[in-house]
């Protein structure tokens, strides 16, 4: 039996694939390479190129690879851009998840780990985000992830008395950074780490958007979690589902403490060996002072830990980016 990773050729998905392999769980990758990279898929791992919107391809893949469960990572992940492309975002994230669930139901595959997002909370005005906080997504991307969670919930109810009742959990996380493999790095044009790395490689000065927030150093504070820790939590969630052990409907994969943008910039200078003073630009509309989540439930059930310091996050991400040339 194997586990299908949708979006397994992407930055996060490729790390999950490696963690599954290390755990002896025989991953299979399905990815349309719209943002993933075929070279991120390890040698020997079956790779199916195609879209999660292709119902027939999903059914064929689930059957031919004797899939026991799905880790659903594929989706359109750019919250800011989703405001300009809401229909595309809903097609990929809502319709895509519906098609995955339909293919699973047709083939009797009943375990699903959903890669959700802390964007379901919007911009909460609390010190620490917990799973029971009201959901007020502030973008089509956040809305699409919340609808995805609803689809899982409703399908679990609908299949509860069937031969293959859906068992699922959703993992919500914020800013995923670093690398656990020098051949895999973050290629997003919108995330902070690759934006800073590219600026430094090109000889430009990175920019901080606003330094007058209500935080200790004036720059906003966010959760930054290492991709290796994220991948490990997905694997444990899959193992618990397959073993029939109880899981919560959703888990925050949070750091509890958070890091400021200034702290990230200081760590960037240390980790890259490039001394720089970031430019200070105006605030971006809607950016809250602080968004940080607990990971208490995930620590209890999924062996969730923050195993990396900020310097290790930066150094691992920089080394992977530099290895790419």
Pairwise CA distance, residues 190 & 179, whole Å: 17
Measure Cα distances from 17 to 23, 33, 265, 293 in Å: 10, 15, 30, 25
Per annotation, catalytic residue among 141, 185, 224, 308:
141
Per 3-state DSSP, the chain is made up of helix, strand and coil in percentages (nearest 5) of 40, 15, 40
Q: What are phi and psi of 38, to 5 degrees?
A: -55, -35
Q: Is residue 141 annotated as a catalytic residue, yes or no?
A: yes
Show the tokens assigned to 29. Answer: 């990758």
CA 38 to chain centre: 19
Residues in contact with 57: Cβ distance below 8 Å, sequence separation at least 6, in sequence order: 30, 48, 50, 51
Q: Are 71 and 233 in contact (CB under 8 A)?
A: no
Cβ neighbours for 281, distance < 8 A, ≥ 6 positions apart: 207, 208, 209, 210
Catalytically annotated residues:
141
């Amino acid at each position: 039996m194997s586990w299908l990773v949708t979006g397994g050729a992407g930055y996060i998905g490729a790390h999950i694939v490696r963690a599954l392999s290390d755990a002896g769980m025989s991953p299979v990758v399905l990815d349309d390479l719209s943002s993933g990279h075929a070279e991120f898929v390890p040698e020997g791992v079956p790779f199916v190129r195609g879209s999660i919107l292709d119902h027939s391809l999903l059914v064929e893949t689930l059957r031919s690879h004797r899939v026991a469960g799905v880790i659903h990572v594929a989706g359109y992940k750019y919250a800011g851009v989703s405001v300009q492309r809401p229909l595309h975002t809903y097609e990929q994230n809502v319709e895509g998840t519906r098609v995955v669930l339909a293919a699973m139901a047709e083939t009797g595959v009943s375990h699903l780990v959903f890669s959700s997002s802390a964007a379901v909370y919007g911009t909460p005005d609390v010190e620490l985000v917990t799973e029971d906080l009201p959901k007020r997504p502030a973008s089509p991307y956040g809305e699409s992830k919340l609808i995805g969670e609803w689809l899982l919930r409703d399908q679990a109810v609908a299949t509860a008395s069937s031969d293959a009742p859906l068992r699922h959990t959703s993992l919500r996380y914020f800013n995923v950074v670093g690398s656990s493999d020098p051949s895999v790095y973050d290629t997003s044009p919108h995330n902070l780490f690759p934006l800073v790395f590219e600026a430094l490689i090109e000889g430009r000065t990175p920019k901080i958007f606003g330094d007058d927030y209500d935080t200790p150093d004036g720059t906003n504070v966010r959760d930054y979690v290492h991709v290796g820790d994220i991948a490990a939590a997905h694997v444990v969630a899959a193992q618990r589902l397959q073993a029939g052990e109880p899981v919560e409907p959703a888990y925050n994969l949070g750091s509890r403490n958070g890091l400021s943008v200034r702290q990230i910039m200081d760590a960037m200078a240390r980790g890259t060996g490039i001394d720089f003073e970031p430019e200070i630009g105006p605030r971006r509309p809607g950016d809250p002072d602080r968004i940080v989540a607990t990971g208490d439930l995930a620590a209890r059930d999924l062996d969730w830990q923050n195993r990396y310091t900020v310097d290790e996050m930066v150094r691992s991400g920089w080394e992977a980016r530099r290895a790419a040339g």
